[in-house]
Amino acid sequence: MSDLFSPFSLRGVTLKNRIGVSPMCMYSCRDDGVPTDWHMQHLASRSVGGAGLVITEASAVVPEGRITPADVGIWNDTQMDAHARIVAAVEATGSVAGIQIAHAGRKASRAEPWVHGPAKPSWTTMAPSAEAFEGFAQPHAMTEAEIGAAIAAFVDAAKRSVKAGYRFIEIHGAHGYLAHQFCSPISNRRNDSWGGDFDGRTRFVREVAAAVRAAIPTDTALALRISHTDWVEGGWTTEESVELARQVKALGVDLIDVSSGGLDAGQKIPLGPGYQVPGAAAVKSGAAMPVAAVGLITEPKHAQEILAEGKADLILLARVLLREPYWPVRAAAELGRVEALSIPPQYERGWNTIAPWQMDKAIAEPMQAL
Ligand SMILES: Cc1cc2nc3c(=O)[nH]c(=O)nc-3n(C[C@H](O)[C@H](O)[C@H](O)COP(=O)(O)O)c2cc1C
């Protein structure tokens, strides 16, 4: 039985608690994939807020693998140096810095989400098959050489991530992006060794996982984010996810981060608090390996319950941390775990005389001691 505030170790990496910042694209680069001060502040703020793990957004392994021209990249050394600043800032607070490495495949080449109106493709896209995602440009079917180059790009990105100081690397195999496009029979219509049956469709992600594992230090943690189901009849299933997890575990993947959907516009998602947790629990028990749960987990008691019931080992939070970077502090307070608060020493004066949820008392605190 794990506790939200108990440490969690994967290989040589120990998180101080079970709370992680889920990767979130900020669409805030200029057209060069170099992380900016915005990314640095955004991620460092969440580590100051107390999350044990902070995962930098989907970082493209090649320019054409970006969702939008404003995505972060990790395909060159200038980007790597900017990532190193993020790592230093995040790790200075006692959080572990992680990165998600990604290729968007047929869902690349879009405008930023807040640029309303029709998508404005900037470059042509590739995918396992020449099947467009609804509303997106038609991709071309990848050649053997392009598949090999994409795998090599994941490896280069992983090596750069390690050089930048990241200790947790997550391969993006979810949300309808390239690796997921290979896995799902809806988007993969190939009949060569990269498609067809389960083995063929999962070959790309297995090869990426094996090659990345071989290229990074043994004490670096390696995770794979999957969509455990497409939520579409005839699509990728939870049972296949469990089998994939078993296989990548044998290849050295340490944790499966269990999300869902994003592959097909016809998906019917039963949205509700913790709606993806059953997928995480299925992978955890079926593959006997650590998993992260994510998706509409917003209340500390709920997060604690998921861990206590043995359904997951790590809780990833996204949107709630956008509005509440100090969620881990609230969680410690609400769960009666004030001793587990992880406040940077520079900020202790703000918290040590009062409970954080009693801010009105702070106003009344005598000023003489300042
Ligand atoms: C602004 C934003 C950007 C996101 N970018 C990514 C991303 O880069 N990679 C990814 O795997 N998921 C991404 N997601 C999905 C989140 O990581 C998370 O899985 C999802 O929001 C569900 O968690 P939540 O209910 O706590 O927000 C993004 C979500 C948001 C809100």
Q: What is the pLDDT of residue 187?
A: 98
Structure tokens at 147: 């598949």
Residue 163 parent element (H or E):
helix 144-164
What is the 49 CA–ligand 1 centroid distance (Å)? 18
Are residues 171 and 223 in contact, defined by beta-carbon separation less than 8 angstroms? yes
∠ Cα 233 192 182 (to 5°)? 45
The dihedrals phi and psi of 320, each to the nearest 5 degrees, come to: -60, -30
What is the 317 CA–ligand 1 centroid distance (Å)? 8
Q: What is the pLDDT of residue 363?
A: 41
d(CA 100, CA 88): 17
d(CA 307, CA 292): 10
Backbone Cα Rg of the chain: 20
Contact residues for 345 (Cβ-Cβ < 8 A; gap 6+): none
What is the 216 CA–ligand 1 centroid distance (Å)? 25
Beta strands in the chain (DSSP E): 8-10, 13-15, 19-21, 53-60, 96-102, 126-127, 140-141, 168-173, 221-227, 255-259, 291-294, 314-317
Are residues 263 and 232 in contact, defined by beta-carbon separation less than 8 angstroms? yes
Q: Whose CA is nearest to atom 13 of ligand 1?
A: 24
State the CATH architecture for 8-364. Alpha-Beta Barrel (3.20)
Q: Does ligand 1 come within 6 angstroms of the Cβ of 25?
A: yes
DSSP 33-80: ----HHHHHHHHHHHHTT-SEEEEEEEESSGGG-SSTTS-B-SSHHHH
Q: Active-site residue numbers?
A: 177
Question: Measuring CA to CA, which residue among 103, 84, 94 is closest to residue 39?
Answer: 84
What is the 311 CA–ligand 1 centroid distance (Å)? 20
Q: Does ligand 1 come within 6 angstroms of the Cβ of 42?
A: no
Residue among 24, 178, 294 to mutate when testing ligand 1 (max atoms within 8 A of CB): 24
Are residues 224 and 204 in contact, defined by beta-carbon separation less than 8 angstroms? no
Q: What is the pLDDT of residue 360?
A: 47
> Which pLDDT tens digits describe the chain residue by residue (370 residues)?
579 999 999 999 999 999 999 999 999 998 799 999 999 999 999 999 999 999 999 999 999 999 999 999 999 999 999 999 999 999 999 999 999 999 999 999 988 888 765 566 789 999 999 999 998 999 999 999 999 999 999 999 999 999 999 999 999 999 999 999 999 999 999 999 999 999 999 999 999 999 999 999 999 999 999 999 999 999 999 999 999 999 999 999 999 999 999 999 999 999 999 999 999 999 999 999 999 999 999 999 999 999 999 999 999 999 999 999 999 988 988 898 877 776 777 887 776 655 555 544 444 444 334 3
Contact residues for 370 (Cβ-Cβ < 8 A; gap 6+): none
- The tally of CA atoms less than 13 A away on the side-chain side of residue 316 is 26
Q: Does ligand 1 come within 6 angstroms of the Cβ of 320?
A: yes
DSSP 176-207: TSHHHHHH-TTT----STTSSSHHHHHHHHHH
Residue among 71, 227, 319 to mutate when testing ligand 1 (max atoms within 8 A of CB): 319
Residue among 19, 22, 68, 316 to mutate when testing ligand 1 (max atoms within 8 A of CB): 22
d(CA 321, CA 319): 5
Q: Whose CA is nearest to atom 28 of ligand 1?
A: 24
Give me the long-range contacts of 79-82 (CB less than 8 A, separation at least 24): 79/32, 79/33, 79/34, 79/35, 79/160, 80/160, 80/161, 80/163, 80/164, 81/164, 82/34, 82/35, 82/36, 82/39
**Burial of 183: CB neighbours in 10 Å, binned 0-12, 13-18, 19+:** buried
pTM, full prediction:
0.95
CA torsion sign, 194 to 253 to 184 to 129? negative
